[in-house]
Amino acid sequence: MKGTIVCRTILLILALSTAAASQSEPSIESTPPASPSKIPPRNETMVVTGTFIPAPLSEYDRSATSIDARQSPLLFSSAIAYLQSDPTVDLHQRSPGGVQTDLTILGSTFAQNLVLVNGMRVNDSQTAHHDMDIPIPAEAITRMEVMHGAGSAFYGADAMGGAINVITAPAPSSELRVRMGVGNDGFNQEHIFASLVDKRFSETIAGNRDFSAGFRPDRDFHNGSASSETTWDSFLGHTDLLLAGIDRAFGADQFYGPYPSWERTKTWLGIAQQDLGSRTTAAFGYRRHSDNFVLVRDNPSLYANNSTDQSWQAALRRHDSLGDNSTLSYGAEALGESISSMNLGQHARNREAIYANVDFRALRRFSLSAGTRAEWFGSNANSILTPTISGGFWPTQSLKLRASVGRGFRMPSYTDLYYSDPATVGNAALRPESVWSFDAGGDWNPNARLSVGVTFFSRWDSNVIDYVRLVPEQPFRATNIQRLHFTGIESHADVHWPRQQQIQLAYVFLQGDQVPLAGVVSRYAFNYPHHEGIVGWSGAWHQWLVARTRVGVTQRSGYGVYAVWDLAISRSNGAIRPYVQMSNLGDATYEEVPGVIMPSRSIVAGIEWVLRSTPR
């Protein structure tokens, strides 16, 4: 009872603190190193997600977050840990280290969000449970951008709740980093990162291995990933070639039902992007994902399924200036998906799309962006239009008001349509999902110390795909829920202090206006956070020690409140850099996915060795 009262008190403080300052999703901008006694001017962060051409975050008309993944990387245990700084992203982790993680954005289901790598789709067509099987080691990630709200006008299917773009780039200098660490529950890790940078060429190689015996039976895991990114400049323009792969084997007790399961997934990814002059870009991406699933680990003969799905995407994108303050962006894309599975059979489908968007800008005065995308799919060439419009207005130089509205859609996954096992049954008659989303808010940045804001949002979902059942003895069956409506508010405040200190306050309230029918149990659609808040701090001492701490408080709809406290400390310079990462210091008992218990208190400690050359 006392823990619940404390958690509710923290949530109330967050709500009052952020609302009192008229706060919103802040304009998150990177802060360069500076003298510990001074607050440096804030550099403008460029955003490429949810906009057809790169734009400064202060000029961005949608609610979004940009997360710097190269700032104090030893303070973060995995790529998933970076997303914990955005409370609009609700992580549904089944195990630590990103072993099996779903995510939702502002009340969406886990399948209604698009995951991108350098702007190219990597969603899993078999089952969106594996969307976060990102094969790029955290050390090779430059930043992560989160767009809140429907984004199908930009990226097509799946971007109903929003989109997460994992972005890589050449390292600022040639360097070699080797990391080794150990922790409780038999955890150990080995990471390596190497880069070679020249004036017109760069090569970046990264690899990692994380292993754990598990904090309870059948919750062990063994992760390995590697990536190579090569860039060069020629007479054609800039070329970027990214190759990556990941192999994850893990105990999956209770992950998909009341069974001691086991699973192994592998993902291969290749993305090539080529500038054709200064205004045109061609891109091609290929993803292959395999899934070996055993329902009962000690009895594979009871039920097992092996599946392999493949997808490819080709895109041609161009933008032209229509004057000093306006730009026309347009392009065409094609996408193919296929699957071969013991359970699901063999299936394939293709989609084609064209899009156009006009963008008007008058610096620190007003902005307006409007466009649409037409996408064709299916043997009968069915089509869907996904328009979007957004705008901003500056009453003063430090205050911006903005609003956006857009449409999104999602095609059923192959699992939704065809899968069947003792716990889950698909439905070949499922209809595509669709959504209209709206948000309005403001950002206030009076000086380099303070960034605050607030965003009100609303979304109307149709034909939502969920898995439901009437009695516990029955399997969950895929079905379309006709209507869902979510409303809420997201608020943020960032305070910058001397010695690179930063305080983060954030609070999100979310309310769905429809509950499941009497007696019907829903697996996904109603597992959303009713309240979610963050109190965070990071700072540095004496130019060599950095630390961060975060307390995340969550109350899911229909469940109690829990708080998770994380703390990490590391050395920030020198050839030898020790680090300590501590998770769930309060030893909270909690579940992000109903029925799947998360680990108690855990500690990982290690050393990174760094050999670095002079930046180019």
Mean pLDDT (10-residue bins), the chain, 616 residues: 43 39 34 42 71 80 89 90 91 83 89 93 89 91 93 91 93 94 94 94 96 93 96 93 96 89 95 94 96 94 93 96 91 96 93 94 87 86 90 93 95 92 90 95 92 94 91 88 92 88 94 69 86 94 89 90 96 94 94 89 96 69
**253 and 262 Cβ atoms separated by less than 8 Å:** no
DSSP 107-128: T--GGGEEEEETTEE---SS-G
Token output for 97? 């280290």
Q: What is the DSSP string of 304-322?
A: EEEEEEEEEEEEEEEEEE-
Give the Cα separation of 283 and 332 in Å (integer): 11
Q: What is the CATH number of the domain that holds 368?
A: 2.40.170.20
Please answer whether residues 206 and 139 qualify as being in contact, where contact means their C-beta atoms are separated by less than 8 angstroms.
Answer: yes
Give residue 131's pLDDT: 85
What total number of domains does the chain contain? Answer: 1
- Please give the radius of gyration of the chain, using alpha carbons only, rounded to the nearest integer: 23
Q: How far apart are CA 463 and CA 112, in angstroms?
A: 12
pLDDT (0 to 100) of residue 31: 37
Reduced to 3 states, what is the DSSP secondary structure of residue 575?
coil
CB atoms within 10 A of CB 462: 16
Q: Are the C-beta atoms of residues 87 and 533 closer than 8 Å to each other?
A: yes
The percent of the chain in helix, strand and coil, each rounded to the nearest 5, is 10, 55, 35
Strands (DSSP E) found in 128-279: 143-148, 162-167, 175-183, 187-197, 201-212, 221-233, 238-253, 260-275
Q: What is the DSSP annotation of 456-494? A: EEEEEEEEEEEEEESSTTSPEEEEEEEEEEEEEEEEEEE
Range of the domain at 243: 2-612
Measure CA of the first residue to CA of the last residue in the chain; give whole Å: 57
pLDDT at residue 516, as a whole number: 53
What's the sign of the alpha-carbon dihedral 32, 38, 42, 43? negative
Instruction: Answer yes or no: are the C-beta atoms of 206 and 227 closer than 8 Å.
Output: yes
> Three-state DSSP class for 276?
coil
Q: What is the pLDDT of residue 39?
A: 46
Q: Which residues contact 102 (CB under 8 A, 6 or more apart)?
A: 91, 92, 110, 128, 129, 131, 132, 593
Q: What is the DSSP string of 177-212?
A: EEEEEEETTTEEEEEEEEEEE-SSEEEEEEEEEEEE
